[in-house]
Structure 1
Amino acid sequence: MFRRTLFALAAGLSLAAPALAEEAAHDTRPIRWLVGLPAGSGPDLLTRLLTDRMAPLLGRAIVVENRPGAAGNLAAQALARAAPDGATLGTLLAATVSINRHLYPELGFDPARDFTPISHFASFPGVLVVHPSLPVETLDDFAAWVRAQPQPPLCATSGAGVVPHLAMAWLMREIGGRCEFIHYRGSPDAQRDLIAGRVPVMLDGLPTSLPGITSGRTRGVAVTSLQPSALAPELPAIASRLPGFEALSWIAVGAPAGLPEPLAARIEAAVAQAMADPALLARFRALGVEPVASGRVTLAARITAEDARWGALIREVGITVEP
């Protein structure tokens, strides 16, 4: 009797997924798209550019809902708890799914269990920048300067626990240096203090750093991609001196766990088709980011790999953030 009941339950579940996918394929309700940062932020703007092109491809309106707060965890919690019916999607950030669980004990979701990764859609490296008064032109210069300081120099970040913060901690470990982190609430304030000389060093996203670098108000040293970035090809990669050093900030599409395969494939295809639009690619590059349409397999693999890498660094270096 128990085995017959178990087989009946399994058969019912196997029939439920295709039925749910078929129902969702004909759903005309607007799609709710969650973003864990304020309206007008970089990821929000990029999301809206993408969703404007995805909506007609999916045949449904897409309404972007901003839920900022708790380092992106509020929006991620809401996405994890939504029904896996294609009516709720979200913007996943690298820190949210690969870093936060190592820093916030009350996360409220499990990145490995509670999401269906769909596809990257944007990526950009960080860049090591210094005030122009520093005797630093190259990464070797920077390493020598840091080690020569009697006290750890101040180092600005755009926030505790974000990719650039961890990338700088990683870099310091590799060069045998130390710095005193000053965490700002976003890049603009940090960049202003760097330009004013109140902090001498910063590792920040390349898009927000480029205006200062191109104007000469700050000096770019090296980028955190494996190769020089097309956004600033004159800057060498840190990996040219420290092989394997890669720290990218990326933005992706995600859905709740359990999304039926046909729905996941349909959304993935819509992302790829939208990201093939030359006008959209031009807009992304004008904003200083690299457009990417990686697909589910690549995104899932990156989340797993970066979760392991950042988790090990956080434990080794002892990085913590205030709740």
Structure 2
Amino acid sequence: MSIPTLSRRTALLGLAAALPIAGARAQTGDWPSRPIRWVNPGPAGGAGDVISRLVGDRLQARLGQPVVVDNRPGAGTNIGMTQVARAAPDGYTVGLATIAANAANKWLYRSMPFDPEKDFAAVGLIALVPNIVVIPPAVPARTLQEFITWAKAQGRPINFGSVGAGSSQHLAGSQFQIITGLQLQHLPYTNSGQMNTDLIEGRIDMLFQSISAVTQMAQAGRMRPIAVSGTARVSAFPDLPTMQEQGVDITSTGWFGLCTPAGVPEPILARLDTELQAIVQDPALAQRLTASGAIPRAMGRADFTRFMAEESAKWRVVIEAVGAKVD
């Protein structure tokens, strides 16, 4: 017995309508059904590591699967983010997006192992991280302008350290050089502890450093804070003026967000976006981030994609102005 034409057409239409749903289920399955790897492209104990673990723990609780932080530092965050870019786009690998890998490095490195625009999918911003300017106790300056006057009188390049090329500290130093006209020599470190020691002992002249990395030493008088970047003062040093307040118009900060490899199915990205925004807006997390020197800043996928593009364009100008390059 043949199926009536109308019934056959209805059946075909029903089958066609069901295909997208079946396809979405095939893509996402029961995600997540196993642990998620969170790649931090910076060192253990750094600001990115702290943020990865704070947010990763909360993401684990919300998804019901372990979120395992995997520190993969090196090459200005390029090593870790290469692993993210090359991972299977199945939602089981995420990466900590940074100002280096996702904005500055393409203008610094002569050869890049990934394309920051094409090889990642944005999930959302987590936090802004202002830098604090610290100098050795032996330098007589007490303010940023006094330090500039001292630096100009030295008759030599002023050394400044950072955690690596493309880091927010390196970029802040490059901006500082352009605005003040000082001749600066960038010294990239792989070990933040050694960098702090070299500053304390006077082997380098200044640092743009993450607040959490130097708070105890600065409060103990082992190094002298003279300014913070960003648009507002920070809770750890409420009496310390910003660079802008002291006549040096640097308000840029480091930042951290979440991304995945390109090609992750839309339903998974949407779920990660929803969960991340809820986590970042949680008052308990905000308190922990603020205590570590960060400023919580929730931003969804579309806005975060635009934000990273704007950051890339901004730092291209600075990097080209100082002629910075990494082979």
Compared CA separation, residues 40 and 282, structure 1 to 2 (3 A): same
Pairwise CA distance, 1:267:
0.6
Three-state SS of the structure 2 residue aligned to 1:111 is coil
Q: CA deviation at 1:243?
A: 7.0
Q: Does 1:119 align with 2:124?
A: yes
Q: CA deviation at 1:20?
A: 5.4
Cα drift, residue 255 of structure 1: 1.0
> What is the identity, as a one-letter code, of the residue corresponding to 2:162?
T
1:234 maps onto 2:264 in alignment: no
Instruction: Flag structure 1 segments of 5+ consecutive residues without an equivalent.
Output: 1-10
Aligned partners of 1:122 and 1:251 also within 8 Å: yes
SS at match of 2:33: coil
Residue 158 of structure 1 and its aligned partner are, at CA, apart by 2.8
Q: What is the alpha-carbon distance in structure 2 between the residues aligned to residue 152 and residue 62 of structure 1?
A: 45
Instruction: Evaluate the alpha carbon distance shift between residue 150 and residue 56 of structure 1 in structure 2; reply closer, same or farther with a 3 A threshold.
Output: closer
1:96 aligns with 2:121: no
Equivalent residue number for residue 137 of structure 1: 142
The separation in 1 between residues aligned to 2:22 and 2:254, in whole angstroms, is 34
Per the TM alignment, residue 105 of structure 1 is displaced from its structure 2 partner at its CA by: 2.7
Deviations 1:194-240 (A, max 9, x none): 11222232222222122222112222111110222233221212123
TM-score w.r.t. structure 2 length?
0.85
TM-score, length-normalised on structure 1?
0.86
Percent identity for Structure 1 against Structure 2:
34
Deviation string, structure 1 residues 263-293 (Cα, Å, up to 9, x no partner): 2221111112223444433333333323332
Cα drift, residue 157 of structure 1? 2.6
Letter in 1 for 2:226: V
Give the aligned residue type for 2:117: A
Pair 1:312-2:317 in alignment: yes
8 Å CA contact 1:116–1:255 kept in 2: the answer is yes
**In the aligned structure 2, how far is the partner of 1:301 from the partner of 1:243?**
27
Q: Aligned letter for 1:139?
A: L
1-side partners of 2:22 and 2:212: how far apart?
42
Deviates more, 1:152-161 or 1:122-131: 152-161
TM-aligned CA deviation for residue 167 of structure 1: 0.8
Distance 1:20 1:244 in 2: 51
State whether structure 2 residue 157 is matched by structure 1 residue 155: no
1: distance between equivalents of 2:22 and 2:37?
Answer: 21
**Residue of structure 2 in register with 1:51 after alignment:** 56
Query: In structure 2, what is the Cα distance between the partners aligned to 1:176 and 1:17?
Result: 61
Q: State how many pairs are aligned.
A: 311
Partner Cα distance (1:295, 1:184) in 2: 33
- Corresponding residue for 1:254? 259
- Say whether the 8 Å CA contact 2:234–2:293 is kept in structure 1: no
Instruction: Report Cα offsets for 1:133-187 as digits up to 9, x if no partner.
Output: 3232222222222222222233233333322112112112101111233332232
Contact 2:130–2:293 (CA under 8 A) maintained in structure 1: no
Change in 2 beyond 3 A, CA 1:236/1:255: same
Q: Give 1:269's aligned residue.
A: 274
Q: Quote the Cα distance in structure 1 between the aligned partners of 2:22 and 2:117.
A: 21
* 2:258 alignment partner AA: V
What SS is found at the alignment partner of 1:73? helix
Greater shift in the superposed pair: 124-133 or 22-31: 22-31
Task: Give SS of 2:251's match.
Answer: coil
In the aligned structure 1, how far is the partner of 2:144 from the partner of 2:26? 52
Give the letter for the 1:42 counterpart. A
Report if aligned partners of 1:24, 1:86 keep a CA contact under 8 Å in 2: no
What amino acid does structure 1 have at the position aligned with 2:192? S
The verdict on how the C-alpha distance between 1:143 and 1:16 changes in structure 2, with shifts beyond 3 A counting, is farther
| Whole-angstrom CA distance in 1 between matches of 2:165 and 2:20 | 46
| Deviation of 1:124 (Å) | 1.4
Change (3 A) 1:134 1:40: closer
1:228/1:113 Cα in 2 relative to 1: closer, same or farther (>3 Å)? same
The partner residue of 1:64 within 56, 66, 69 is 69
Hey, what does 2:4 align to over in structure 1?
none
Using the alignment, how far apart are the partners of 2:286 and 2:113 within structure 1?
35
Distance 1:144 1:94 in 2: 30
Q: Contact 2:229–2:253 (CA<8 Å) still a contact in 1?
A: yes
